[in-house]
Structure 1
């Protein structure tokens, strides 16, 4: 009998089949999630979940309690470090956004987590410690996009190469690549987007992490072949092991 990737997340699969509701912070891509739940285990493998996060100014708890903490502080209380470790996932990047030259909405924080399999992603959703903390995410998050990605390339770059910049791109229809980057951009890690897990109706093709000089950052909005993109400049990361997460699978 063929084992399905989602067998370890059968509870999640049952809840999904019984509901078409969405969390208040985004729309679930039921088509993608359904494919993953029925993916044979032998075809499953690592994927990188990119999280773009926009917070409420003040946390909004579903039970109506008065709150004096920010949305970001509520998300800090949610931070599922234990559940992630339990399923073998590796937090690969966590950084606040310090500037956003392009794209909408205005994002507050970016994170990447490498999961060993899609099945492990569903397994985490069923853990009691994850579900118990999820109220804090619901309270803190105004909107999020979570997308599944696969690595295309990595390279070593240093702080001397400029600011850490993330770009999420959708190419012009009919094309599979953007134009050349301006001088002053040093690649760190580039990913192909498999699909949006939670978000809105927008489709994305590539995610790029680079180091870039101020002049290059200003020129990134002029790169050809891109229909839509989000460009964020990231502050000093709390966690930064993107390259390690790809190289040491």
Structure 2
């Protein structure tokens, strides 16, 4: 058992035993909290920080060997919602199959470098996700034309939402209250340049703290100022209290500064145009 989290053995079995005909890509979403100083199990002295030890670990070779790709890396700038631990970094790896994830764990070159992850990581959550349909704006606003475009001082800013709903069907069916919130939030976020990089349905948490999750969402804004404009909008804040808080049982909301972001390309565009989604929601008497 690793020192940085609990393995979900049921999900591990699913990853290892999915029939080839039913297998396919899986996105492993990593939330990472580092030790201040790396601690090796053999007691060796080191000047490495936990983050530096994890950077030594980064298994680029083993990942490439099994056909996997790192599609997102970001430092956590703001932990807006969610208690301990305080997360330091987020990464997403796309594996071509679930079997390839298991195959990597069994590789000798991966096991050799894994000691550095064990030394540097205090806590981690690793979530297996499948792409979930999301609303797509028919005409996106160019970032150069938004009120708060990216600059050298304030560039792309990604909001990560890790969500567990009260409704246990929430992994595949977004609850009505959350849909109502999305209608309001989307109407404010689109003019401010939001881009949805990917929404994911959680199929399992291979390493964590025993909690279960339903969805993971990555929404990128042209700048932190653009996000804050949306966050402070009075209509959005009212909808947050009335609908989002009602729908969600547990969540992290993290503001990230990505250094690698090919997440959207790895997922592809999924879902109907945003205007169609909003129109259908308005016609539905529940809204």
Q: Corresponding residue for 1:233? A: 255
Q: How many residue pairs end up in the alignment?
A: 226
Q: Which moved more, 1:194-203 or 1:29-38?
A: 29-38
Matched, 1:55 2:23: no
More strand by share: 1
Q: Corresponding residue for 2:109? A: 129
Whether the 8 Å contact between 2:11 and 2:206 is mirrored in structure 1 is yes
**TM-score when scaled to structure 1?**
0.84
Offset at residue 215 of structure 1 (A): 3.4
**TM-score when scaled to structure 2?**
0.73
Q: 1:203 aligns with which of 205, 208, 212?
A: 212
Q: Which moved more, 1:146-155 or 1:55-64?
A: 146-155
Whether the 8 Å contact between 1:78 and 1:137 is mirrored in structure 2 is yes
**1:158-237 alignment runs, 5 A limit:** 160=149, 163-174=157-168, 176=170, 177=174, 178-179=178-179, 180-181=181-182, 182=185, 183-184=188-189, 186=194, 187-212=196-221, 213-217=227-231, 219=237, 222=241, 223-224=244-245, 225-235=247-257, 237=258
Whether the 8 Å contact between 2:130 and 2:202 is mirrored in structure 1 is yes
Offset at residue 34 of structure 1 (A): 1.2
Whether the 8 Å contact between 1:192 and 1:205 is mirrored in structure 2 is yes
Offset at residue 76 of structure 1 (A): 0.2
Matched residues in 2 for 1:38 and 1:188: separation?
30
Encode CA deviations 1:193-239: one digit per residue, 9 max, x unaligned: 1110000111100111113511334649642311111010001x221
- Give unmatched runs, 5+ long, in structure 2: 144-148, 151-155, 222-226, 270-287
More helix by share: 2
Q: CA RMSD in A?
A: 2.2
Matched residues in 2 for 1:211 and 1:35: separation?
32
Name the SS for the 2:24 alignment partner: coil
Encode CA deviations 1:82-104: one digit per residue, 9 max, x unaligned: 11011000111001101100113
Q: Corresponding residue for 2:264? A: 243
Name the SS for the 1:72 alignment partner: helix
Larger Rg: 2
Offset at residue 26 of structure 1 (A): 0.4
Encode CA deviations 1:138-177: one digit per residue, 9 max, x unaligned: 0000000001000114658776486211000001135632
Q: Which moved more, 1:174-183 or 1:153-162?
A: 153-162
Q: 1:152 aligns with which of 109, 132, 146?
A: 132
Name the SS for the 2:117 alignment partner: helix
Matched residues in 2 for 1:221 and 1:142: separation?
32
Matched residues in 2 for 1:33 and 1:63: separation?
27
Q: Corresponding residue for 2:21? A: 42
Whether the 8 Å contact between 1:153 and 1:190 is mirrored in structure 2 is yes
Matched residues in 2 for 1:143 and 1:221: separation?
29
Encode CA deviations 1:90-134: one digit per residue, 9 max, x unaligned: 111001101100113210000000000011011111111111100
- Give unmatched runs, 5+ long, in structure 1: 1-21
Q: Corresponding residue for 1:7? A: none
